[in-house]
Each structure stands twice: as C-alpha cells, then as structure tokens.
Amino acid sequence: MQKEFRITPWEVSGKIDYEKIIKEFGISKIDNKLLERIKKHTGELHLMLRRKIFFANRDLNWLLNEYEKGNKFFIYTGRGPSGPIHLGHLGTWMFTKWLQDKFNVELWFQFTDDEKFLFKNKSFDEIQRWTGENMLDVIALGFNPDKTHFLVDTKHANLIYPEAIKFAKKITLSTVKAAFGFNDSNNIGQVFYTSIQAVPAIIPSVLKRKNIPCLIPLAVDQDPHFRVARDVYPKLGFYKPSIIHGIFLPPLSGISGKMDSGGKGDERAILTTDSPEEVENKIKKYAFSGGQPSIEEHRKKGGNPDVDVSFQYLKMIFEPDDKKLKEIEEDYRSGKMLTSELKTYLIEKINVFLKEHQKRREKAKKEIKKFMFKTRDPLR
Amino acid sequence: MQKEFRITPWEVSGKIDYEKIIKEFGISKIDNKLLERIKKHTGELHLMLRRKIFFANRDLNWLLNEYEKGNKFFIYTGRGPSGPIHLGHLGTWMFTKWLQDKFNVELWFQFTDDEKFLFKNKSFDEIQRWTGENMLDVIALGFNPDKTHFLVDTKHANLIYPEAIKFAKKITLSTVKAAFGFNDSNNIGQVFYTSIQAVPAIIPSVLKRKNIPCLIPLAVDQDPHFRVARDVYPKLGFYKPSIIHGIFLPPLSGISGKMDSGGKGDERAILTTDSPEEVENKIKKYAFSGGQPSIEEHRKKGGNPDVDVSFQYLKMIFEPDDKKLKEIEEDYRSGKMLTSELKTYLIEKINVFLKEHQKRREKAKKEIKKFMFKTRDPLR
C-alpha cells in the first residue's frame, strides 16, 4: 500500500491523514470526556482543545489521575533552532503557556541546537545565532520566568549528556532505523540524538530525586522520539511521560505538510519579525484560498474554509471567539464573505498580535539570562 | 584467510602479530632514525622506546618538525575506568610521564566513563567509583599537576559534547561499522562514542583559539578511534594528531591478548592495590613460564624468555638496566637461571615499586581536585 504522507521529526510531506497517524503511532484521540476532565481543572478549554488542534494524547488520563492525587506534573516542550520562528510554532507555545498558567506548573523548554546542527546543512555558529533569536520569541509569549527553565543541549550538556547515555544504552540501532527511517549513510550524531531529546522529561525528577510526572505538548511529528524512549523511562525508574499531540499549522501554500520557515524561502511562512506590509503581502499573495476564481462564482458557489489557509489560521490561532469563527465559516461557505475580506480580517488580526509580540520580543533581549537554567558545576 | 587475532578497542584476543597490525592499520614502524631524532631532544631513550614496546607511530616526524619550529605539542592519553588499574596500564602512563617531563608539555588525560558505561554491563555508579579510584593511580605516578588536566567525559560534557557533534556530523554509520565491527544490535551510544574520544585532541586548540599539535600515546587497540576521526580533524580546521603505539603487557597467563583487569578474576593481572603477598602468590602461581618442567631439564635445555611472562614484565617495565636485562635473558636462555629465581627477582622489583606507589596513591586522594580541569560555565 502506497503511503500518501510521510512523517518523521525531520520530514513532513503530503496531505496528513490524522486518523491514520493515530492508528499508526498507537496514540489516542482526545475525546469529549477527556476534554471535560481537563475543563474541571482549567475552568475553560483553550481554543486548541475546543477545536481539536491538539487532537491526540498518550497517558493524559494517567497524568490527571496523578494530578488529582496531588502529584503535580511539569511541562516539557522545545524548539529546534534552525531558522526564524513562524506563526505555526507560536500556536503550540501559546497553548503550552495556557497549560502552564492553568495548572500552575513548571515548564522546561529545550533548545535542540545539537539536533539542528546534526540534521541541517548549517554551521554550528548559525545554529547558535538562531538559538538566541528563537529564545526571544518564546520569552515574548509571556512565560513566567520563575517557573520556566531553558535548556540548550550543548550548553547544558553537563546535565543532559550523562542522562542521555543511560537512554542510549537501552536503544539499539535497529530501533532507531525502524522509527526514524535511518540507514548506514546517516551520521553517528543523528543516530544518537534521540537519547538527548528523551532527557528533559526526567531532569526535574533527577534534580529533585523523586519521580515527577511530565506532560509533553508537541506537534505530532515529534512523537517517534518518545515512542522510542517510552519503554526506557520505567527501566531507568521514571514515569513514562504523558504526551498531547497537535496538528500542524499549514504553510501558506496549502494544507499539505507543515509550515516550514527553513530553507525554502520566506514566502512559505509568516515570521514573527515580519512587518505589517510583509504580512499583508504574504497573506494576499501566497495564502492558499478556498474561494472561487471570480467574485461572481464565489457569490454563487461559496468558498471552502476547510482548505482555505487564512480561515485555518483564524481557527488555529487568531480567532478565539467561537461564535465569530462560526459566523466567518458560514459566511465564507455561503459566498457572503469574499476571500479578500477573509484575508483582510486575518491580516488585521495577525498585525495586531505581531505589533505587541515584536515589542515584547525586543524587551526579551534583556531577559534571556533569567530563563536559562543554572546548573551546579559538578567540578566545583 | 583466517584471522588469528582480533583487535578492536573492546576486544583483543589471540596472539597479536604486530607486523600484521602495522600493515592492516596503515601505521609506521618506529625505526632507529626516528629514535635518534627523539633522543636529540630527550637526551636519552625511555626503555619502552629502546625495547620497541612503543613500536609504531603516525606522523611523529611531522610532530617533531613542528616542535623544532617552536610549535610545541601537548599530550593526550586516557583511561576507560571500568575496573582496577593493573601493571599493564601503568607502563603506558610511565612512558607518558617521561614524554611530558622530557618535552615539558601539557598532558590532557581523559577518563572515558561514558564509554565504559555504554560497553560494559556495569552501572553508572560503579563506573563513577572506578573513575575516582583510577585517578589515584594516575596521580600516584607523579604527573605535574600544573601541566596535567583530567577530563571526565560526563563531568566535562559542556566542553566535550559540543565539539563531539562536529566530528559526529562527518562520520557515518557505515564508517564505524567497518572500523569497529558494529552491527544493528549495538546501542546508539556505542555508535556515537568514537566522536567523544576524538575531542580531547583539539580541546587545547579550541580553548586557546590556535592550532596546537597533539601527540597521543596509546595501546594499539585504540588506534581505530583515531583512524576514523583522522580525516575529520583537518575538515574542522585542526591538525591530525600524531600517535605513538604501544604493544600490550601480556596477562599473567601468557603473551596472547592484553592484560585485562575486568571481569575474569584478579588472577589474570597484578593490581596496583595488591599486597606483597598477593603479588608473590600471583606471580608464582599464574605467571606463564618459559622454563622447562624440571630443574634438570631446565639446566640442560634452558628457558624461553620470549614467552616467559615474568621476563616480559622486566623487559617492559621493571628492569630499566639494559645490561642487567641482557644478563638475565642470557642466563635464563642458557638454563643458568631458573624460573623460580626469575620470578623471585620480578616479585622483589614489583613489590619495591608498589610499596612506593601505594603510599603516593593514598596521598593522591587529596589531590584529585588539583588535576580536574576547571571549565568556564557557559551560562554565567
């Protein structure tokens, strides 16, 4: 059987079939019962939960059991810093911040600079530069610095590497070849890397010498890392982390694949540093439209919001008001709302957001140190 | 063609054919011309050079060219801390100390605790304990603490790991499979490890931001690591390290394989912590003899010092006096000297040495901190 899509942490292509992913990855759908259970603690549901942008999970019920017993979890998420931040990244992190605020828990945020160096044709220095740049965007989202700890794989290697080899010892080459599609022409750093990504899920437990549950919000392409490491956690005496899986924000060009800010030209994504004019130009020029070729035809047949990238951006990030979103959806589908009107609405939303974000991003330059986790030097 | 011996960093078995190794590894014999050249700088030749215990090299002439131009080198050697130290280890390190003293150069001494954890069926804590124990033996040999820097792979990961991934990016799985005989059932840490061992050869260059030549004295089984990394050094802007290769001190049981203190019972090796009685007992009971079954036969036919382990220990480490060694060799070969006399002579030599070594080893417990390289915390 031909696969219509391909999904690994380093490649997402084709039209993603999320139902198929759930089956193939062996993960569970987030159903309404689980949503209700979350709501019991959070009071409300984030739009990404209401709209099933975060659609699947591993062991989330177990995590809530522990939470209800008073066994608080921490959140672990991260960023591979190989290029500028685009709106797709921000979505996941906004949701992460919501989780942090609602459950009042610690967040460990990993910057996988080693990964990006090993997998991309970019220099170590360039990756370091992006690491610093990307931190600004994370900070700008307003994470609580007292409860948020940045880990940079190469800068926190004293903390991470000694734990990573404990995972590595229990993962064979066969396993990573099967999970990630590696072959013998892969470099030996790529092959080892997954054991580094496994580590932040146990760092708080290691530091506090007790077993603390971990929740990982991630885009579903990252799941294979934890599928591989999953069986290892209990062998090392730790809980398996719980995972909550998000779909991808589509690239401007359409709903196949994930938004990618790296390499292929900036026209594929809206960057957090884009000016209002750039945003306007990109949305108008590149955002794939579900509308009809002519106004007359659009009025008659209506547009298709399901494939319309502008509508999807509103749904995934920029229109928190469910009533308003439904109105837009219906108006667009009926032909009452034109593509140009939809795009204008989105452009305004994005630009209001980015104006504030860019201000905070500038201020964040002085705050990086506060977020960097301070390790104890094992040699002093 | 059947191989009669097998040699990788993790397995040495069979009767080693050093001529064959030179050919297979593509290394060069140390000839008399090269010895004379070394002597020009050192004034004398260490017994391990005079007696061809260090028998081969890579780029040693180049290293001396640089040295003569005023471009001083540093020495890098190391220890895989998986068990107690035996006399075979000390031999190489005594020679290393001689090199340090004669050329007045820095020594970087790596403890590959990650390697031993990844390759041995031992816990992380046990490996850490051996790391501390093994350091005592290195210090006891009298290395200059102002010029000697200990690196522990897991404790200096902040320094080593960011450089290791630069090597790893340029080494494929195919390459390490061929060099080390790995297959898909190896764990992913084992596969990555060689890139960690490559790093200390560039650490001083990285820290001082200039290219400094490196000399690596090692037992020849470690050569594959540098064979793999060798082509990578220039790609990263560094000199290829020069290497000087030693043969193995044979185990007590005979001149096949290398002395191994790990796993197979202590009767195979003399440990630095052995009491005089233990030394006497081990040599008398286990040291393979080149003598004849009866005194009468020995007097008539004579013994064979080439396979006699006691004689080999004198030759490799404990009898620096060439004249005396020759006398012993001749007397043993002629039958004038009995195996029991040879063993008594060796036991006395070892015990005189160990008495002093054990005293210094005790004192060394307070000196570890002085030898540990202090890294700058990249986060402060």
Q: Kindly identify which residue of chain A lies nearest to residue B173, measuring between CA atoms.
A: A184
DSSP one-letter code for B57: E
Average pLDDT over residues A252-270: 65
Q: Would B377 be classed as within a structural domain? A: no
Domain shared by B207 and B238, yes or no? yes
Is B165 in contact with A174 (Cβ distance < 8 A)? Answer: no
Closest-CA distance of chain A to residue B148, Å? 16
Of the three residues A202, A230, A253, the one that is the final residue of a domain is A253
pLDDT score, position A304:
95
Is B114 in contact with A169 (Cβ distance < 8 A)? Answer: no
**Partners of A215 in beta bridges:** A75, A242
Find out whether A270 and A282 touch, Cβ atoms under 8 Å. yes
Find out whether A127 and A82 touch, Cβ atoms under 8 Å. yes
Domain shared by A59 and A132, yes or no? yes
pLDDT score, position B253:
82
pLDDT score, position B2:
42
Residues 6+ apart with CB under 8 A from B306: B290
**Closest to B173 (Cβ–Cβ): which among A124, A186, A374?**
A186
Is B118 in contact with A156 (Cβ distance < 8 A)? Answer: no
Is A155 in contact with B378 (Cβ distance < 8 A)? Answer: yes
Domain shared by B40 and B179, yes or no? yes
Count structural domains, chain B: 2
Is B188 in contact with A177 (Cβ distance < 8 A)? Answer: no
**Closest to A173 (Cβ–Cβ): which among B154, B172, B191?**
B191
Half-sphere exposure of A148 (CA within 13 A, CB side): 24
Q: Would A25 be classed as within a structural domain? A: yes
pLDDT for residue A74 is more than 80 = yes
DSSP one-letter code for B275: -
Report the distance separating Cα A128 and Cα A148, nearest Å: 20
- Token duo for residue A27: 């993960």
Is A188 in contact with B185 (Cβ distance < 8 A)? Answer: no
- Token duo for residue B338: 């009995």
- Residue A2 pLDDT grade (very low, low, confident, very high; cuts 50, 70, 90): very low
Q: Would A376 be classed as within a structural domain? A: no
Domain shared by A114 and A28, yes or no? yes
Report the distance separating Cα B314 and Cα B283, nearest Å: 12
Chain A contact set for B164 (CB, 8 A): 189
Chain B contact set for A186 (CB, 8 A): 172-173
Average pLDDT over residues A112-129: 98
pLDDT for residue A222 is more than 80 = yes
**Closest to A154 (Cβ–Cβ): which among B161, B169, B176?**
B161
pLDDT for residue A256 is more than 70 = no
Residues 6+ apart with CB under 8 A from B311: B290, B305, B328, B329, B332, B342
DSSP one-letter code for B58: E
Q: Which domain holds residue B277?
A: 266-364
The edge-to-edge listing of strands for the beta sheet with B107-111 is B28-29, B54-58, B242-246, B214-219, B74-79, B107-111, B148-152
Q: Would B376 be classed as within a structural domain? A: no
Report the distance separating Cα A258 and Cα A260, nearest Å: 6
Domain shared by B245 and B288, yes or no? no
Domain shared by B78 and B119, yes or no? yes
Q: Would B54 be classed as within a structural domain? A: yes
**Count of helix runs (H) and strand runs (E) in chain B:** 19, 9
> A161: domain CATH number?
3.40.50.620
Q: Would A258 be classed as within a structural domain? A: no
What integer best gives the mean pLDDT of chain A?
93
Report the distance separating Cα B319 and Cα A318, nearest Å: 82
Of B196, B207, B205, B206, the residue nearest B171 (C-alpha): B196
Q: Computed over its alpha carbons, how large is the radius of gyration of chain B?
A: 21
Domain shared by B198 and B62, yes or no? yes
Average pLDDT over residues A26-49: 97
Q: What does the DSSP assignment read for A147-215?
A: SEEEEETTTTHHHHHHHHHHHHTT-BHHHHHHHH---TTSBHHHHHHHHHHTGGGTHHHHHHTS---EE
pLDDT for residue A170 is more than 80 = yes
SS3 per residue for A4-59: CEEEECCEEEECCCHHHHHHHHCCEECCHHHHHHHHHHHCCCCHHHHCCCEEEEEC
Domain shared by A321 and A232, yes or no? no
pTM over 0.90: yes
Is A168 in contact with B188 (Cβ distance < 8 A)? Answer: yes
Closest-CA distance of chain B to residue A181, Å? 13
A250: left (phi over 0), alpha (psi -120 to 50) or beta: beta
pLDDT digits (tens, 9 = 90+) for A301-346: 999 999 999 999 999 999 999 999 999 999 999 999 999 999 999 9
- Residue A9 pLDDT grade (very low, low, confident, very high; cuts 50, 70, 90): confident
> A318: domain CATH number?
1.10.240.10
Of B221, B61, B156, B190, the residue nearest A375 (C-alpha): B156
DSSP one-letter code for A376: P
- Token duo for residue B144: 């200059």
pLDDT score, position A306:
92
Is B168 in contact with A378 (Cβ distance < 8 A)? Answer: no
Positive/negative CA dihedral, A257, A261, A267, A271 = positive
Domain shared by B59 and B170, yes or no? yes
Find out whether B145 and B154 touch, Cβ atoms under 8 Å. no
pLDDT score, position B305:
95
Half-sphere exposure of A375 (CA within 13 A, CB side): 25
Instruction: Give me the tens of pLDDT residue by residue for chain B, a chain 380 residues long.
Output: 345 666 677 766 667 788 888 998 999 999 999 999 999 999 999 999 999 999 999 999 999 999 999 999 999 999 999 999 999 889 999 999 999 999 999 999 999 999 999 999 999 999 999 999 999 999 999 999 999 999 999 999 999 999 999 999 999 999 999 999 999 999 999 999 999 999 999 999 999 999 999 999 999 989 999 999 999 999 999 999 999 999 887 888 876 655 555 444 556 789 999 999 999 999 999 999 999 999 999 999 999 999 999 999 999 999 999 999 999 999 999 999 999 999 999 999 999 999 999 999 999 999 999 999 997 665 54
Q: Give the ipTM.
A: 0.93
pLDDT score, position A376:
67
Pick among B119, B156, B182, B188 to test the A interface (most A CBs inside 10 A):
B188
Average pLDDT over residues A279-293: 95
SS3 label, residue B106: coil
Is A170 in contact with B176 (Cβ distance < 8 A)? Answer: no
CB atoms within 10 A of CB B105: 17
Average pLDDT over residues A278-290: 95
Domain shared by A150 and A184, yes or no? yes
Q: What does the DSSP assignment read for A304-334?
A: -TTT-HHHHHIIIII---HHHHHHHHHHHHH
Q: Decide which of A261 and B16 is more confident.
A: B16
- Token duo for residue B199: 């790093």
Q: Decide which of A20 and A360 is more confident.
A: A360
Of A200, A107, A204, A208, the residue nearest A157 (C-alpha): A200
Closest-CA distance of chain A to residue B262, Å? 19
Of the three residues A203, A220, A253, the one that is the final residue of a domain is A253
pLDDT score, position B250:
80
Domain shared by B355 and B270, yes or no? yes
> What does DSSP say about strands B54-58 and A28-29: parallel, antiparallel, or unpaired?
unpaired
Q: Would A380 be classed as within a structural domain? A: no
Domain shared by A17 and A123, yes or no? yes
**Count of helix runs (H) and strand runs (E) in chain A:** 19, 9
Residues 6+ apart with CB under 8 A from B150: B109, B110, B111, B135, B138, B368, B371, B372, B373
Chain B contact set for A164 (CB, 8 A): 189
Closest-CA distance of chain B to residue A29, Å? 32
pLDDT for residue A282 is more than 80 = yes
Q: Would B31 be classed as within a structural domain? A: yes
**Closest to A184 (Cβ–Cβ): which among B161, B177, B377?**
B177
Rounded to 5 degrees, φ, ψ at A11 are -155, 125
